[in-house]
Amino acid sequence: MENLSITGFTRPSISWCESIGLSKCFEAYANIGEDIMQIGFNPNSGYTYIALENGVSICSSMGDDAHYNVTNPEDGEEFFFESYKEAEYKLSTF
């Protein structure tokens, strides 16, 4: 069994917005059940995220509600969805 770590946070502590965003990501994840690849914060985009092994990421910016992100492997274009099912469907079209 491999331990998961949270990456991308460089401050001595996680900010309020980041902690709220991460909690919303975990709340969304609780109903999915896919394996987690990575948990973290992207300082370039400002998103906290849970990246799943199947290619869908659950993300939140500035503590907003969680969204589901899929990236096209061919051109790197990102797509954001309000439901996991929409993200799964988009992923199946690549």
Residue 75 domain flag: yes
> Is 4 inside a domain boundary?
no
Sheet containing 6-7: give its strands across.
Answer: 6-7, 36-42, 47-52, 57-61, 67-71, 78-81
pLDDT at 64 over 80: yes
The number of folded domains in the chain is: 1
Q: With respect to residue 55, please indicate whether it lies within any of the assigned structural domains.
A: yes
Which string of b and e fits 33-66 if b means at least 16 CB within 10 Å?
eeeeeebbbeeeeebbbbbbeebbbbbbbebeeb
71 part of a folded domain: yes
Average pLDDT of the segment spanning 42-69: 94
Q: Answer yes or no: is 51 within a domain.
A: yes
Tell me the average pLDDT across 60-75.
94
Assigned domain for 70 exists: yes
Is this model's pTM higher than 0.95 or not? Answer: no
